[in-house]
Amino acid sequence: EAQVTQNPRYLITVTGKKLTVTCSQNMNHEYMSWYRQDPGLGLRQIYYSMNVEVTDKGDVPEGYKVSRKEKRNFPLILESPSPNQTSLYFCASSLSRGDGNTIYFGEGSWLTVV
Amino acid sequence: GQQVMQIPQYQHVQEGEDFTTYCNSSTTLSNIQWYKQRPGGHPVFLIQLVKSGEVKKQKRLTFQFGEAKKNSSLHITATQTTDVGTYFCAPGAGNNRKLIWGLGTSLAVNP
């Protein structure tokens, strides 16, 4: 079954404690990205990757890091989380970045930073 | 980046009523996709429109792409409680330019 899997699904952490949200897709997609979703702000892209070892900033990259060492995995790293990073995070993948490619989303990770 | 405006932001209807959400862009789009996110869920692809004036139907859902390819609409006939959720449009600007998602229209349906 085609899917995007992200973990953890729910996490409460404290300010400054480094955390990683993993993301894996089994569709051999080149393009992967991370979004955060906040009330009234919709889906905002944090980082994206067009292929292995190719990553770039999205609209709201501050406070986040990513890596793409393998095609299937695209972890999101919060080196020093702050309360304003409390949000719902989605990992997504598509065949490529080009228009017209269906975007597949993971189930989401609820992150609370206290 | 490409931006779109989605209206209305919220809509509350009685079951059986129709519902329409609009997605408007200031510039011409190469295509547009629509996604649905159920409460507590993740966005799921519904459809893609590519051609000027294109109309596609999925059961009670009708999707339309404007003649100028600057706007799109999603119309639901006779809403049901299963239609509850947020509907997003995702524009394609062409040439791999960055997409900016619409803010979505949240639909609530009273049984």
Q: What is the DSSP string of B34-95?
A: EEEE-TTS--EEEEEE-STT-EEEETTEEEEE-TTSSEEEEEESS--GGG-EEEEEEEE-ST
For A100, the closest of B42, B50, B98 (CB atoms) is: B50
pLDDT of A1 reads 84
Q: Which residues of chain A does B44 touch, with a Cβ-Cβ cutoff of 8 Å?
A: 105
Q: Which residues of chain A does B96 touch, with a Cβ-Cβ cutoff of 8 Å?
A: 97-99
DSSP A46: E
Q: Which amino acid is at A14?
A: V
Give the pLDDT band (50/70/90) at residue A2: confident
Give the pLDDT mean for B2-14. 90
Q: pLDDT of A79-95, one tens digit each?
A: 999 999 999 999 999 98
Instruction: Please judge whether B41 and A97 are an interchain contact, meaning their C-beta atoms are less than 8 angstroms apart.
Output: no
Q: Is the distance from CB of A93 to CB of A102 less than 8 angstroms? A: no
CA distances from B84 to A26, A77, B5, B12 (A): 29, 33, 21, 10
β-pair type (B10-14, B105-110): parallel
d(CA B111, CA B13): 9
Instruction: Please judge whether A100 and B48 are an interchain contact, meaning their C-beta atoms are less than 8 angstroms apart.
Output: yes
CATH code for residues B4-106 = 2.60.40.10
pLDDT of A100 reads 75
Q: pLDDT of A50-75, one tens digit each?
A: 999 999 999 899 999 999 999 999 99
Q: Locate the domains of chain B by residue range.
A: 4-106
Q: Which residues of chain A does B104 touch, with a Cβ-Cβ cutoff of 8 Å?
A: 42
Q: pLDDT of B26-83, one tens digit each?
A: 888 889 999 999 999 999 999 999 999 999 999 999 999 999 999 999 999 999 999 9
Q: Which residues of chain A does B34 touch, with a Cβ-Cβ cutoff of 8 Å?
A: none
pLDDT of B98 reads 58
Residue A97 reports pLDDT greater than 80? no
Residue B1 reports pLDDT greater than 80? no
Both tokens of A78, joined, read 């919060």
Chains A, B: CB contacts within 8 A come to: 49
**A90 touching chain B per CB within 8 A:** yes
pLDDT of B95 reads 58
**b/e for B62-78, b at 16 or more Cβ within 10 A?**
bbbbbeebbbbbbbbee
d(CA A67, CA B13): 44
**A103 touching chain B per CB within 8 A:** yes
Q: Is the distance from CB of A88 to CB of A37 less than 8 angstroms? A: yes
pLDDT of B102 reads 85
For B92, the closest of A42, A90, A99 (CB atoms) is: A99
Q: pLDDT of A10-57, one tens digit each?
A: 999 999 999 999 999 999 999 999 999 999 888 999 999 999 999 999
pLDDT of A16 reads 97
pLDDT of B92 reads 77
pLDDT of A23 reads 98
